[in-house]
A and B are shown apart, each in its own frame.
Chain A
């Protein structure tokens, strides 16, 4: 059973989500990128990852407000240090989950 109104909304959402995913890839992969753009894009991953994760650690709610002493931040500190020392993705994910689980029980 499929509601047609919903289907139309989902198709609309699908199109506007797909285009920003596809356009730069299709456009930029066909030509030589200028040096300034390569240098700029070089900083994007570190910047995006930090911009994605830091607000998850220190803000909460809707509308968002600052909330510094959350389990998310507390667990992030040892998890981050572990990642720096070991550079192990699997280990970091498992440790982070374990500590977050512990924090939920004991704090």
Chain B
């Protein structure tokens, strides 16, 4: 009962406003990718309604692109589902990192939030959580704002995205620029710079030799592990205390 009455005192209006405002770079990027996806999916024979249902059920850009190309080349249920699973395994790491900020949150909210974990929402929410001006409700609104933008733009693409010139206003670069800036926010010391460098270089190297996107998980896990060991080594312990 106590927690219930606390829930009722939450001011949802500022929460919704903050979440939606924070989501804008993601929405911009999704708009570009979503339109492109809609056009491709429609050319592969999907009806805009089917595109919408797919975006609603899956909500994962790269997996959806791959699945559509597999569908149009006649692949069956299992290959598509297994590929999707592999492509989206990286969310395990993101979900784990976010768990720190979701201690003892009601499982219904967790269920709703987990659905919206993407590369983009993860990066944005985690940065905001660090800055302390953020909470799980705002994160939830951000996730679902991005979700609506994704569903809307993929369906719009299915109806006639080909009429919008590709590459208009550099919109294709929105997500890369966003990731670059969020990466800058994460470089909070020499150790983070080193582990980011290791992760980036490893990712490039692995992406060249291993097909698919396994490079994201492999490179991140190795780089984070090296980061932990470097922190434990005496050289960095001294440096961090010194600075």
Which A residues fall within an 8 A CB radius of B? Answer: 1-3, 6-14, 16-18, 20-30, 33, 36, 38-59, 63-66, 72, 75-76, 79-80, 83-84, 87-90, 92-93, 95-102, 104
Contact = CB atoms under 8 A, between A and B. Distances in A.
Nearest to A71: B173
A15 B145 CA distance: 21
Contact of A7 (B53, B173, B187): B53
B214 to A, nearest CB: 11
Tell me the dominant secondary structure on chain B's binding face.
helix
Contact of A97 (B49, B177, B182, B227): B177
A12 B139 CA distance: 26
Interface of B: 24-25, 28, 46-47, 49-50, 53-54, 57-60, 63, 67, 71, 77, 80-82, 84-85, 88-100, 102-105, 107, 110-111, 113-115, 117, 119, 122-123, 126-127, 167, 169-174, 176-187, 191-192, 195-204, 207-208, 211, 215-216, 219-221, 223-225, 227-228, 231
A45 to B, nearest CB: 5
A71 B171 CA distance: 14
Contact of A24 (B47, B95, B203): B95
B50 A45 contact: no
Contact of B91 (A17, A28, A45): A17
